[in-house]
Structure 1
Amino acid sequence: MLQPLTAKELEYIADSLSNEELLMKQCACMSTSAGNQALGQTASRFLLGHQQHYQTLLNCLQQHQGLAPSSPQS
């Protein structure tokens, strides 16, 4: 059974989502602007990996959404 996420866990996931989003943008830029085809292909593979990480984190949040309190706890 899933347990509610703590505030610290939610902050960590939010930070991780932001980091993955930045890495996706950087890899996408590198894959299209690399002068070397092999480098561009490597950046594209990294992009796919970061997209998967982002989706995994998002899925985790969605799975725990129903457990979140409806109002802030004091």
Structure 2
Amino acid sequence: MLQPMSGKELEYIADSISNEDLLLKQNAITASSTSNQQLKQLYSQAISQHQQHIQTLNNLFAQHQQLAPSQPQG
């Protein structure tokens, strides 16, 4: 059974999503600025990996929301 994550863990996941999104955008910009097809392909693969990472992290976040208490803990 999954245990609810701490606030610190949720912050880490949110930061990781932000970092993956930044890396995805940087790869997209770099891919669009090169005419070398081999490099474009490498950047495209990196973009796909970052998209997969973002999806995985979003799934973790969604799973936690299902476990989180609906009322603040006092």
TM-score, scaled to structure 1: 0.90
TM-score, scaled to structure 2: 0.90
Q: How far apart, CA to CA, are the structure 2 residues paired with 1:73 and 1:20?
A: 31
Q: How far apart, CA to CA, are the structure 2 residues paired with 1:5 and 1:32?
A: 38
Q: Which residue is 1:43 aligned to?
A: 43
State percent identity of aligned pairs. Answer: 59
Q: How far apart, CA to CA, are the structure 1 residues paired with 2:34 and 2:12?
A: 32
- What is the count of residue pairs matched by the alignment? 74
Q: Which residue is 2:23 aligned to?
A: 23
Structure 2: where are the runs of 5+ without partners? none
RMSD value over aligned CA atoms?
1.2
Structure 1: where are the runs of 5+ without partners? none
Q: Which residue is 1:55 aligned to?
A: 55
